[in-house]
Amino acid sequence: MHITVPLLINPKAGSLFRSGLKGWLDANRDAFTIVPTKSAEDLTAKARELAEAGEPVVAAAGGDGTLMCAAQGLIGTKAALGILPCGSMNVFARELGIGSRRFDVALDTIQSGTRQEVDIFTVTDRPFLQMAGFGPDARIIKLITPRLKKHLGPAAHIFTGLHVAMQNHPIISMTLPNGKTYTGTQIILGNGKRYGGEAHLFAEARYDDGLLNAAVIHQESMPILFEILGCMLQRGATRRNTSEFTRLCTFTECEISADGKLDYQLDGDYAGTLMPGETLSIRKLPQTLRVCIPRNYVPATPMEKFMAHPMVEAWRATIRQAQEF
pLDDT-derived band at 13, boundaries 50, 70, 90? confident
Per mean pLDDT, which range of 145-159, 253-267, 288-302 is the poorest? 145-159
List all residues 6 or more positions away from 69 whose beta carbon is below 8 Å from its beta carbon: 40, 41, 43, 44, 47, 60
The pLDDT mean for the chain works out to: 88
pTM of the predicted structure, to 2 decimals = 0.86
Cα-based angle 131, 96, 207 (whole degrees, multiple of 5): 50
Query: Residue 253 pLDDT > 90, yes or no?
Result: yes
Query: Residue 38 pLDDT > 60, yes or no?
Result: yes
Cα-based angle 191, 197, 202 (whole degrees, multiple of 5): 40
Domains of the chain: 5-112+295-324 (3.40.50.10330), 123-284 (2.60.200.40)
pLDDT tens digits, 294-324: 987 666 656 555 555 555 555 555 555 554 4
- Which has the higher per-residue pLDDT, 30 or 159? 30
What strand order describes the sheet that includes 269-274? 246-251, 212-217, 186-190, 131-134, 262-266, 269-274
Q: Given this model, what pLDDT does residue 313 score?
A: 55
Whole-number Å distance between alpha carbons of 71 and 76: 10
pLDDT tens digits, 201-245: 999 999 999 999 999 999 887 788 888 888 888 889 998 889 899
Query: Residue 72 pLDDT > 80, yes or no?
Result: yes
**Percent of the chain beyond pLDDT 70?**
88
Query: Residue 284 pLDDT > 80, yes or no?
Result: yes
Highest mean pLDDT range out of 115-119, 146-150, 197-201, 296-300? 115-119
Q: Given this model, what pLDDT does residue 324 score?
A: 47
Query: Residue 325 pLDDT > 50, yes or no?
Result: no
Helix (H, G, I), strand (E, B) or coil at 289: strand
Burial zone of 292 (CB within 10 Å; 0-12 exposed, 13-18 middle, 19+ buried)? buried
pLDDT-derived band at 19, boundaries 50, 70, 90? confident
What one-character-per-residue DSSP string does 36-64 give? E-SSHHHHHHHHHHHHHTT-SEEEEEESH
Q: What does each C-alpha distance from 109 to 76, 161, 180, 215, 243 come to in angstroms?
A: 21, 36, 42, 32, 39
Q: Which of 16, 8, 77 is nearest to 39 (CA)?
A: 8
Burial zone of 29 (CB within 10 Å; 0-12 exposed, 13-18 middle, 19+ buried)? exposed
Q: Given this model, what pLDDT does residue 87 score?
A: 86
Q: Given this model, what pLDDT does residue 301 score?
A: 59
Per mean pLDDT, which range of 4-13, 17-26, 208-217, 259-268 is the poorest? 17-26
What one-character-per-residue DSSP string does 156-218 give? HHHHHHHHHHTS--PPEEEE-TTS-EEEESEEEEESSSBSSTT-BSBSS--TTSS-EEEEEE-
Instruction: Please count the other Cβ atoms lying within 10 Å of the Cβ belonging to residue 126.
Output: 15
- Which has the higher per-residue pLDDT, 317 or 124? 124
